Amino acid sequence: MKKLSIVIPVYNEKNTIKKILDLIEQVQLDDIEKEIIIVDDFSIDGTRDVLKDLENKHKIFYHSENMGKGAALRTGFKQVSGDMIIIQDADLEYDPNEYQRMIKPILDGWADVVYGSRFVGSEPHRVLFFWHLIGNKFLTWLSNMLTNFTLTDMETCYKAFSRQALDKFKDKLTSNKFGIEPEITALIAKNKFRIYEIGISYYGRDYEEGKKINWKDGIAAIWHIIKYNLFR
């Protein structure tokens, strides 16, 4: 039986972490075992109290200081034991019921990496911020220009990897924050992995609901794209 490792970076998600874990546990995969790896990036809102009660069910790791999503993913990647790996945010913006679709190109032998795009396909997409959309498309365009990819959503959370692909680049990752997204994409290009993209649903949050990424992260992403593609 194959295994899917689900890496969940967590920061101040006490209202959603239990819900997303329940959804993940309910997902039925064809002859695939699930491994849930949670990395708490020094939450201060009570998330850790929730996680303490789940330590007998999942692999849970705690950062001693807040370092960012990239640092949490790097910690999680070191702990995976699955044949495939997928990233899952701790909020409810992405639907775990789409795991089977995400990993199918890998299982079928077509892909080493699969990105779930929020901007293609017929799945439901919550309508939110215009300037976020423009910023995301610009960052994806800039990344594509340097990687020679034709992605529609470089910044997506849903990225799935074969174990062989992840093992080739995980130790090269250095980004601590949201720069992890363009860094992963740059390393995929440099390693000439076969990358596929599928349309996914997206139940986005606004800032009152806990969304964390902002315009400053977008500006930083421009430098990260240039840095990881041209100077690494």
Query: Domain holding 203: CATH number?
Result: 3.90.550.10
Is residue 186 a contact partner of residue 229, using CB atoms and an 8 Å limit?
yes
Q: What is the pLDDT of residue 212?
A: 63
Q: What is the rounded CA–CA span in Å between residue 9 and residue 6?
A: 10
Q: What are phi and psi of 95, to 5 degrees?
A: -95, 115
Q: Which residues are 38's β-sheet partners?
A: 8, 60
Looking at the structure of the chain, the number of domains it has is 1
- How many C-beta atoms lie closer than 10 Å to residue 70's C-beta? 22
Q: What is the DSSP letter of 93?
A: S
Q: What is the rounded CA–CA span in Å between residue 17 and residue 219?
A: 29
Q: What is the 3-state secondary structure (H, E, C) of 71-92?
A: HHHHHHHCCCCCCEEEECCCCC
Q: What is the rounded CA–CA span in Å between residue 139 and residue 61?
A: 31
Give the model confidence (pLDDT) of 117-165 as tens digits: 999 987 877 777 787 888 889 999 999 999 999 999 999 999 999 999 9
Give the model confidence (pLDDT) of 175-199 as tens digits: 999 899 999 999 999 999 999 999 9
Q: What is the rounded CA–CA span in Å between residue 179 and residue 68?
A: 10
Give this prediction's pTM: 0.93
pLDDT at 167 over 90: yes
Sequence-distant (6+) residues with CB within 8 A of 58 are 21, 36, 37, 38
Domain hosting residue 190, numbered range: 2-230
Residue with tokens 């790097």, as numbered in its chain: 74
